[in-house]
Amino acid sequence: MASTRDVVIIGGGHNGLVTAFYLAKAGYKPLVLERRPQPGGAAITQEFHPGFRCSTLAHSAGPLRPDIVRDMQLEKHGLRLISPDVATVSLSPDGRALTLYRNLEKSAQEISKFSQKDAARYPEFQQTLSKISKVIAEALALAPLDIDHPSRGDLWGMLQTGRAIRKLGKKDMYRLLRWGPMAVADLVAEYFETELLRAAIAARGIFGTFLGPWSAGSSLVLLIRAAGDAHASGLASFAQGGAGAITQAMAAAATQAGAEIRSNAEVIEVTVGNGVASGVVLSSGEEINARAIISNADPKRTLLKLVDPMHLTPDFVMKLQHYRMPGTVAKVNLALSGLPKFTALKDNDEALSGRILIAPEIDYLERAFDESKYGNFSKQPYLEVAIPTVGDPSLAPAGKHVMSIYMQYAPFKLRNGDWEKQRVPLGDTVVKTLTQYAPNLPELILTHQIITPQDLEDIYGLTSGHIFHGELTLDQFFTMRPLLDWAKYNTPIKNLYLCGSGTHPGAGLTGGSGANAAQEILKALKR
């Protein structure tokens, strides 16, 4: 006989945990069902070699929305953030390095070694980006409005956003309207002449997307990411104990508020009758009825796999099938016997405390993207590297280190072969690329952990390996995320809701989608 619960949340990723917390605080008793051995989704820490632990997928700590951190009291539940002074180090094959710091003046001093003109313009760009990103942040914290039948809350929110845009002034308001549709390569070229600097900033506009720096709309991705962190190239922020410490703290907060979390509980079906969701079925055969079902899975997995599409209109199914989410990211984690020596850094270990970019110029990034368009992974890829053990030695045995590497571009659909056959060549390509900058790296490697786009789908539940649950583009943003008329976290199935990154704002490890969804779902439950 089926048990009955207030609310069931499918998936214990960070957005699911945030939603569970806010619903529990409102007096409901949500049950979070996580199919893997531990909650956390893409924000987990695991041992991948004896004594070596690493943020398996996401290695940067957000940036989490400050109000969520405050409401959930994540520091009280053990979260400790490591915020090095170094933000990013961008390396060039000619042996030079551009280091950008949290401090604006220190960054300008470093830039002046390449270009006095760029050093003078950098504070201006940073100030403009900061002003515009504050307005974007306000919009991201709002639930998208119902275009046909806007509520008073919708109208008030849009009025507040409109006022914030007007306060920008004519010059910056024009920039906001103009920048969103632009190619990020064009945007950075308007300000800077140094290729290392251009590419370091432009990389934020393509990270995790099937876009190159010359793709229209890539500036929007930069603006969305800057809404949480207005530093031009992005700050370095890590959780002590790895990204899993973030979701462990969230799980503790949600549990304390009254939620229940069950691991190793895979949902295989959402039960629907007469257009109304009534419960879920687990792989064990257990059935659980609920007043509301909330899915932290991506829209396609939820509505085309967990729900029988026969309960949806053909028009809706067709539109959702065309919702774009082509994965382009792979992950390689290395256990190292020592600290790599990067030629350009001349034993400056402090520089290794931030994020290390292999993105020497705009054309390098575009060529890496070009290969993926034809179904090949990049042979000279864009890499974002972190060595978290520099600031958190607890992740490895004494004197040893872990290296966490995002690799882009690695298309989910390969033109030739499959990802199981390409796993080792992918890892070799990443190491070969890094060896150009750190010649002693190969001799330090104790083991590899290579996570392909196929692994992201099969193991971690990210359809097509897309880390954002869908492209962050103008036609899949705000009132159109995931689809027009279905952006307020509801679905065509009554009592079935979405709370994952495939909903607005969908900008990665911020918690924004989960918090916004909770607000809207609470309104529906009270009705």
Name the pTM for this structure.
0.96
Q: 161-170, 175-184, 247-256, 349-358: which has the highest mean pLDDT? A: 247-256
What is the spatial distance between Cα 449 and Cα 155, in angstroms, rounded to a whole number? Answer: 49
What is the spatial distance between Cα 438 and Cα 130, in angstroms, rounded to a whole number? Answer: 34
* 525 pLDDT more than 80: yes
Is residue 477 a contact partner of residue 331, using CB atoms and an 8 Å limit? Answer: no
Q: How many CB atoms lie within 10 A of CB 380?
A: 17
- pLDDT confidence of residue 145: 77
Least-confidence region, from 119-133, 208-222, 341-355, 447-461: 341-355
Q: Using DSSP, state whether 141 is helix, strand or coil.
A: coil
Mean pLDDT in residue range 299-324: 96
DSSP β-ladder status, 401-408 and 382-386: antiparallel
pLDDT over 70 percentage in the chain: 100
Q: How many CB atoms lie within 10 A of CB 148?
A: 6
* 40 pLDDT more than 80: yes
Q: Using DSSP, state whether 244 is helix, strand or coil.
A: helix
DSSP annotation of 310 reads G
Tokens of 10: 């499918």
What is the spatial distance between Cα 122 and Cα 342, in angstroms, rounded to a whole number? Answer: 26
Q: What domains does the chain contain, in order, with CATH numbers?
A: 3-46+66-80+243-324+468-526 (3.50.50.60), 105-226 (no CATH), 327-458 (3.30.519)
- pLDDT confidence of residue 447: 97
- pLDDT confidence of residue 68: 97
- pLDDT confidence of residue 303: 97
- pLDDT confidence of residue 200: 97
Return the sign of the alpha-carbon dihedral for residues 201, 207, 210, 216: negative
- pLDDT confidence of residue 166: 81
Q: Which residue has the higher pLDDT, 177 or 16?
A: 16
Mean pLDDT, the chain, as a whole number?
A: 95
Residue range 77-109, pLDDT digits in tens: 999 999 999 999 999 999 999 999 999 999 999
Mean pLDDT in residue range 374-391: 97
CA–centroid distance for 275 within its chain: 32
- pLDDT confidence of residue 76: 97
Q: Sorting pLDDT into bands at 50, 70 and 90, what band is 434?
A: very high
- pLDDT confidence of residue 1: 59
Residue 9 β-bridge partners = 32, 294
Tokens of 57: 């997928």
Half-sphere exposure (Cβ direction) of 267: Cα atoms closer than 13 Å: 28
Residue range 1-33, pLDDT digits in tens: 588 999 999 999 999 999 999 999 999 999 999
